[in-house]
Amino acid sequence: MSHASMYQSPEAVAFGQRLNHLQGPLFGFVQGMIGDQEQARDIVQDVFVDAWRLASRGAPPFTRENDEPGARRWLFHAAYWRAASVARRARVIRWEPLDTSEASVHEPYVEQHPFEDRVIEGVALRQALATLSAEDAACILLSVVQVMHSSEIAQVLGISAEAAKKRVTRAKQRLRAAYLAQEARTMEEHAQ
Amino acid sequence: MSTASPRYPVPGPDCADIGPLLPLLHSTELDAEETRRVQQHVESCAWCQHQLALYDALDGTLRQSFGGPNIPFLSLEEIMRDTNQTDTAPSWVVEPLTPPTTQRRRPGRFSGLAAVAAAILVIAFAGVVFAQRGAFLGRGVSPSSTAHTAKTASPASPVASPPPAGTNLYYGTNGSTGGLYALHSSDGSAEWQITGPNFEIAPVVVNGIVYAVSADNVLYAIRAPAQGGTTGNILWHVALVRPGAALLVTDGQSLYIGFSVTPTESTNAHGFIDAYSLSGQHLWAYGYDSGDSASCAMSTLPGEMTAANGFVYASSNCLRELVVALHSSNGSPAFTINSTLSPGTSIAAGEGLTVAGNVLYASSAVSGSGSLCAFNAGQGGQYWCRHLSGQDIEMTTSAPVVENGVVLVTTDLDIYALRVADGTQLWSKHIGQLLGRPAGSNGVVYVAGGDRVLHALRVADGMQLWQYAMAGNGSDPVVAGGAVYLNSYLDGTGYILTALRTSDGSRLWKQTIVTTGATIPVAG
């Protein structure tokens, strides 16, 4: 099949719409997991190349029936595996020891920061997210940013729904602890 | 007289129960009763109001930061073009190899004036690479350093004793400096390289030939160039039968490549293992079909597939089958090792596998606790299975290593030593940071933590012999020829490849690798 005729095919049109619709969320997800924008773009591109191979053959979930949730899950699953592999290999993960059940009642009270500090909070949040494991970061991003239910997260990550729900809870607790630690360090630096 | 209210809210007696539910309150995870109970508590609890406000603020910033760009950066034309390009072998493969342009350095003679000459050669070498690819490979050799960061338990030897000449280190990189590189292990100087494709999987070495899989799904066999050459001699290359290669292992007879794939409605395979001969012939394929698309995945990290004794072993995170053993001759299933866990127990991916003698060791982590088991490597029968009582075990991060009759394994935070014969725990050590895969040699185990420290521990009792503060994050140490090699990650800039003397941790040499990603080094 020629390039031009494929571009006009219904599969190509549907795939093009999906590409436009999902590349942004997919990029945000991968970037959140690995931090590096250039690598995130590469991964998203690779994922869509793999997806197009399936779509051009009419293979599930990229069939004419337009299984939108299935296609979305497939794309995030493929991106997750690639990003997790990169993150693990790069060893950018740093584990913050934390007993989460203790942390919820013994951590110090921290005043909320005013709105004008939001930009700084964003930077601190990125740094805090980078301290989590790839799996934890993925759970948070899928739950909070992509608004996926634990049953859907389970399919993306290849774990049970029960494990996904537990992981989301613990990951958010870890992120909060890492963020507070990051904030404390920042405030300490400002004070000096 | 007035009663002053406390400045800061304090947690009440119910907060410990409600606290774990707060992160999920504004999601769809809680049922109606849980939601009502949490909301009711929060209304009257200033402490939980504060906790919830922080969760909400974090969620808001997460959505703002990682929602992704609104303007598409990929077009359908680009995707189609890339698909066509990666379906064929890269064009550079058929180009004539670059003739020798620089004199290859002799290993084991690195001192004084020779160091200066070597640095000049490396600069010239980098210039050649730059001219060829428009990219900068590295920053040259650092023959010595005054900032010795090792803390030793015994006095450092006054004279460095480098590894035997002839041993090489091989590693792959990606990004603008993507390629496969060979260094002299004695001094870290460059020997040869293949640039062009990205190599994101650690290569293997059999009889002096390096086998490597590129990110564009091509398997290469590469030999060192003739005397004086700087570009590896590609003996053959073959396009893989499927994309998604994640692991390459060998038993010295054949090559086995592990693939992670996404199941579709037409195939429920979660992973594949393909076998190739050492001459590049595709021998067999095994599709790992779990029958449970929701909870299974073929593990795809180093240490989760291994080949020995006529078998290929691969781990998964399926409840039914933790390990699959295949006959290496034809890929037919020999046996599986099934989980003895209760149904519904979640298993984290990442079971580590190691074969020593006729024993297969498998480490795994299950819902907050880990285990290490020993099996008959030929039949799968269990010898022993021991619980690892760590503080926060969610995922076993390493394959076990066997040294001096002791099997050692690391989890997220701890390292454990168990007697090979019966699994008796000899000692454990809490290091408290993400631990990489350990390496053992001559009665010492080396393990690097996320705290940027390499620990050298005596296998017999866990006593720390020395430690080395790395400049970068983490590393899976590699031990060969009296040296420990580390490839630690520097935030945003690249990697530092370091060689340390096993005896006292003093540094032999250090190289900076400018790349976005590098594999662990392989000695051969």
Q: Mark yes or no for CB contact B270/A158 under 8 Å.
A: yes
- More confident site: B314 or B91: B314
- Residues from chain A that touch B488, judged by Cβ atoms under 8 A, are 91
In this prediction, residue B204 carries a pLDDT of: 95
Average pLDDT over residues B251-266: 78
Strand partners, B335: B325
Query: Which among B62, B294, B517 has the least Cβ separation from residue A89?
Result: B517
Residue A149 has pLDDT above 50, yes or no: yes
- Residues from chain B that touch A159, judged by Cβ atoms under 8 A, are 295, 317, 346, 348-349
Closest by Cα among A129, A164, A81 to B243: A81
Q: Mark yes or no for CB contact B65/A125 under 8 Å.
A: yes
Residue holding tokens 């350095």? B105
Strand order in the sheet with B204-206: B204-206, B209-213, B218-223, B233-239
Question: Which of A124-133, B162-171, B355-364 is least confident?
Answer: B162-171
Question: Which of A100-104, B141-145, B256-260, B425-429 is least confident?
Answer: B141-145
Query: Hey, is the C-beta of A92 within 8 angstroms of any chain B C-beta?
Result: yes
Residue range(s) defining the domain that contains residue B358: 102-427+507-523
Q: Mark yes or no for CB contact A60/B265 under 8 Å.
A: yes
Dist. CA A143–CA A156, nearest whole Å: 11
Q: How far is the CA of B33 from the CAs of B24, B38, B39, B40, B318, in angstroms?
A: 13, 9, 10, 11, 33
Torsion angle of the four alpha carbons A81, A84, A86, A89, in this order, in degrees rounded to the nearest 10? -120
CATH number 1.10.10.10 given to A100-191: yes
Using DSSP, how many helices (H) and how many strands (E) does chain B show?
Answer: 5, 34
Q: Cα angle vertex B305, ends B184, B221, to 5°?
A: 45
Question: Which of A13-22, B286-295, B374-383 is least confident?
Answer: B286-295
- More confident site: A53 or A172: A172
Helix axes A10-34, B76-86, angle to 10 degrees: 80
Residue of B nearest to A6 (CA): B80
Q: Which amino acid is at A70?
A: G
The model's confidence at residue A85, banded by pLDDT at 50, 70 and 90, is: confident
Using DSSP, how many helices (H) and how many strands (E) does chain A show?
Answer: 9, 0
- More confident site: B473 or B45: B45
Query: Which among B262, B294, B344 has the least Cβ separation from residue A74?
Result: B262
What stretch of H or E contains B314?
Answer: strand B311-315
Average pLDDT over residues B342-365: 68
Instruction: Please provide residue A106's backbone torsions phi and psi, each rounded to the nearest 5 degrees.
Output: -115, 0
Q: Identify whether residues B207 and B288 lie together within a single domain.
A: yes
Asked whether B518 and B495 are in contact (CB, 8 A), the reply is yes
Dist. CA B47–CA B305, nearest whole Å: 48
Report the number of distinct structural domains present in chain B. 2
What are the tokens at B460?
A: 């017999």
Q: Identify whether residues B106 and B49 lie together within a single domain.
A: no
Dist. CA B199–CA B171, nearest whole Å: 8
Dist. CA B399–CA B363, nearest whole Å: 7
Asked whether A129 and A188 are in contact (CB, 8 A), the reply is no
**Other CB atoms closer than 10 Å to residue B293's CB: what's the count?**
16
Residue of A nearest to B246 (CA): A85
Asked whether A105 and A97 are in contact (CB, 8 A), the reply is no
Query: Which among A49, A77, A166 has the least Cβ separation from residue B86?
Result: A49
Asked whether B242 and B213 are in contact (CB, 8 A), the reply is no
Q: Identify whether residues B144 and B275 lie together within a single domain.
A: yes
| Torsion over CA: A3, A8, A9, A14 (sign) | positive
Dist. CA A149–CA A170, nearest whole Å: 15
In a domain, B458, yes or no: no
Distance (Å) from the alpha carbon of A191 to chain B's nearest alpha carbon: 22
Residue B120 has pLDDT above 70, yes or no: no
Residue B476 has pLDDT above 70, yes or no: yes
Q: How far is the CA of B145 from the CAs of B16, B142, B498, B508, B512, in angstroms?
A: 52, 7, 12, 9, 13
Average pLDDT over residues B509-513: 85
Q: Identify whether residues B34 and B133 lie together within a single domain.
A: no
The model's confidence at residue B522, banded by pLDDT at 50, 70 and 90, is: very high
In this prediction, residue A164 carries a pLDDT of: 82
- Interface size, chain A vs chain B, as Cβ–Cβ contacts under 8 Å: 235
Q: Identify whether residues B33 and B177 lie together within a single domain.
A: no
Residue of B nearest to A159 (CA): B295
- More confident site: B447 or B343: B447
In a domain, B478, yes or no: no
Q: Mark yes or no for CB contact B66/A28 under 8 Å.
A: yes
Q: What is the DSSP string of B251-263?
A: -SSEEEEEEE---
Residue B482 has pLDDT above 60, yes or no: yes
| Average pLDDT value for chain B | 73
Residue B290 has pLDDT above 80, yes or no: no
- Ranges for all domains in chain A classified under CATH 1.10.10.10: 100-191
Strand order in the sheet with B254-260: B245-250, B254-260, B269-277, B282-289
Query: Which among A44, A140, A158 has the least Cβ separation from residue B74?
Result: A44
The model's confidence at residue B9, banded by pLDDT at 50, 70 and 90, is: low
Residue holding tokens 């690391």? B410
Residue B322 has pLDDT above 60, yes or no: yes
- More confident site: B217 or B368: B217
Residue B97 has pLDDT above 90, yes or no: no
In a domain, B139, yes or no: yes
In a domain, B487, yes or no: no
What are the tokens at B21?
A: 């539910």
Closest by Cα among A171, A163, A124 to A145: A171
Q: In this predicted model, what pLDDT tens digit does every residue of B49-66 receive, in sequence order?
A: 888 888 888 898 898 888
Q: Identify whether residues B256 and B150 lie together within a single domain.
A: yes
- Residues from chain A that touch B412, judged by Cβ atoms under 8 A, are 95
What are the tokens at A50?
A: 């793999």
Dist. CA A53–CA B243, nearest whole Å: 11
| Average pLDDT value for chain A | 74
**Other CB atoms closer than 10 Å to residue A36's CB: what's the count?**
20
In a domain, B175, yes or no: yes
Beta-carbon contacts of B81 under 8 Å, excluding residues fewer than 6 positions away, are none
Q: Mark yes or no for CB contact A141/B80 under 8 Å.
A: no
Query: Which among A7, A86, A158 has the least Cβ separation from residue B295?
Result: A158
In this prediction, residue A49 carries a pLDDT of: 87
Q: Identify whether residues B127 and B46 lie together within a single domain.
A: no
Beta-carbon contacts of B136 under 8 Å, excluding residues fewer than 6 positions away, are B126, B129, B130, B177, B514
- More confident site: A95 or B245: B245
How many CA within 13 A on the CB side of residue B145?
15
Strand order in the sheet with B444-448: B150-152, B464-469, B453-458, B444-448, B439-441
Instruction: Please provide residue B153's backbone torsions phi and psi, each rounded to the nearest 5 degrees.
Output: -85, -20
Q: Identify whether residues B243 and B312 lie together within a single domain.
A: yes
Asked whether B337 and B321 are in contact (CB, 8 A), the reply is yes
Query: Hey, is the C-beta of A11 within 8 angstroms of any chain B C-beta?
Result: no
Is the peptide bond preceding residue A61 cis, with omega within 30 degrees of 0? Answer: yes
**Other CB atoms closer than 10 Å to residue A147's CB: what's the count?**
11
Residue A183's SS3 state is helix
